[in-house]
Structure 1
Amino acid sequence: MPITAATAPVHAIDGQTAVYLIIGDPVEQVQAPTSFNRIFALLGINAVLVPVHVAPADLQAFVSTMFRASNIQGLWVTIPHKAPLLDWLDSSTDLARMAGAVNAVRRTAGGQLEGGLFDGEGFVASLGYFQIAYAGKRVLILGAGGAAAAIGASLALAGAQAPAEIAFYDPTPGRAEQAAARIRQASPVAAQAVGSNDPAGFDLVVNATPLGLQASDPLPCDVARMEPHAALVDILMKNQPTPVVRAARARGLVAEPGFEMMIQQTHCYLDFFGFHGAAQRLREDADFLRELIYPAELQAEIRRQMP
């Protein structure tokens, strides 16, 4: 029977429940618990994912302490902890080291902490889902934090489908250049830091900044400067469609929210934490996640856009 939001139950939590935490500052915007707790319940996995608000100053102490609890099995990681957490782990995947960030942490059988990174994989897969071309294109990534670096790294490692150029803009001095330098060291793709958020001349613009979480935020770029053929993806998980998505669509441009990026990396998280059967189910059918996560307005738009 096809999975639907209506048929995905919610299970009880008991003393044998494996606990996973998603840590960030803030955490109000996170959508992962909605998805993964439904997946756990639907597939009979006795586990729960709980959001935890952790300030940057408390990050190292929190992570080192929480893993002393034997029933806490792993972490999902969101802003602003993806980059700083990398340096405190015993090991991480090649992609995580290239991007300089992690968004998942597990405890190995030997008791060590290992990090993984799936934002970029999910983002690249979402471009395929929306049929947004990026091979040989010029890409502007607004922001150079953990998610932005992950997106740049995965795009750069896309082989024959990789962009011709990846540019990072971030107002924090040095951060954009650091993200670009890691890509230049690991791939042949031209990567650079740029001094402004001007989207003119780029084929794809990615908002990987927090701008849009608050109603008072300015737009992350001047949409009027985007090329007539350009596309925009805003990876925020809150307030979608965000003002920049709406502004781009008002110009007739392709502009998509970040929900699909999360959906397309869900099976990666499940594999990382050892839920291989559940991961395969999600590869075969993730539509119920779209029912859960996408607002009705966006669900209707997607149905109109898909072939």
Structure 2
Amino acid sequence: MTNINSISGNTKVYAIIADPIHHVKTPAAMNDLFSARGEDGVLVPFHVAPEDLPTVVAGLRGIQSLEGFIVTVPHKTTIVDLCDSVTEAARVVGAVNVVTRTKAGKLHGDILDGAGFVAGLRQAGIEPKGLSAYLAGAGGAANAIAFALAEAGVKRLTIANRTAKKAQDLVERIAASFPAVELSVGTSDPSDHDLVVNGTSLGLRPGDALPCDASKLTSNQIVAEIIMQPAITPLLAAAKEVGCRVHQGLPMLLCQIELMAAVMASK
């Protein structure tokens, strides 16, 4: 991790914004990367409630030593309207999870959740191309993952969300960009899919409901998480019980760290 004794007035500052913040692994991973590369930078966690986000972002614009910040649950969709510009990917997905700041205080947003998730799968030897995938969730991270899975070549993608209208909206937006993918709005039943993905925050807090009906899982399925803490969520625990191959949330983060560092370094 970055040596705090080496931080000076020349150190480039980055932040991660979340609510809650206790579970985030990004600061340690990013600071390790800065140290490994010999870069004079530090990333710090900011616990920001939704109602305070506009005020905090307005303040960040004026911090001259701030290079940018990472955005996670529950701010990924709200932050879009607080940026001065966003990438085409972020516009289509409707979410942002990395923001760079110009010297003039302008904020530019990008979305790397999907790219990081797919890269993590491939790093583990799981190739999405040709698979049928079930995705629980239609929020910021789930949007990015849905588009990334479609781009990676899944043959069929089912989106399930507590609010069916949000799932339908996501299906329609994916269809406009990837008409070859078979798309549908699903239920809580994840059966008959090769890959089952939790793209929600369910499992982050003790007592959370499961993101799908785990009793329908079968041993030939791969079950993947985006949650990093706990490493084995209740969904992954249930999947292991029936013999599924499980894929934890950490690889998504580690792959995103490299992508985020590249985005911030290229601004």
- TM-score, normalising length: structure 1: 0.81
Q: Distance in 1 between matches of 2:11 and 2:266?
A: 15
Are 1:17 and 1:48, in contact at CA under 8 Å, matched by a contact in 2? yes
Further displaced range: 77-86 or 177-186: 177-186
Task: Tell me how far apart the structure 1 counterparts of residues 34 and 150 of structure 2 sit (CA, whole Å).
Answer: 33
1:23 is aligned to: 17
1:166 aligns with 157
Would you say the 8 A contact 1:124–1:154 is kept in 2?
yes
Q: Is the partner of 1:87 in helix, strand or coil? A: helix
Aligned to 2:138, which of 117, 141, 144? 144
1:91 corresponds to which of 82, 85, 88: 85
Alpha carbon RMSD of aligned pairs, Å? Answer: 1.8
Give the corresponding residue for 1:237. Answer: 228
* 1:191 aligned onto 2:168: no
Q: Aligned partners of 2:217, 2:92: CA distance in 1, in Å?
A: 29
Tell me the equivalent position of 1:260.
Answer: 251
Q: Is 2:3 aligned against 1:10?
A: yes
2:116 pairs with one of 116, 122, 132: 122
Matching of residues 1-307 of structure 1 within 5 Å: 10-12=3-5, 13-108=7-102, 111-158=105-152, 162-172=153-163, 174-188=165-179, 189-194=181-186, 196-274=187-265
Shift of 1:110: 5.4
Aligned length: 265
Q: Tell whether the 8 Å contact from 2:198 to 2:211 is kept in structure 1 after alignment.
A: yes
Conservation of the 8 A alpha-carbon contact between 1:76 and 1:104 = yes
Work out the percentage of aligned pairs sharing the same amino acid. Answer: 37
Give how far 1:270 is off.
Answer: 0.9
Using the size of structure 2 for normalisation, the TM-score is 0.92
Going from structure 1 to structure 2, the CA distance change for 1:95 and 1:217 (only over 3 Å counts) comes to same
CA contact (8 A) 2:168 2:185 kept: yes
SS at match of 2:238: helix
Tell me the CA shift for residue 214 of structure 1.
Answer: 2.2
Deviations 1:70-90 (A, max 9, x none): 011111000111111112222
Aligned 8 A contact 1:202 1:226 in 2: no
CA distance in 1 between counterparts of 2:132 and 2:141 reads 19
Runs of 4+ in 1 over 6 A off after TM superposition: none
For structure 1, the residue ranges without an aligned partner over 5 or more in a row are: 1-7, 277-307
Residue 167 of structure 1: how far off its partner (Å): 1.8
SS of equivalent residue, structure 1 residue 69: coil
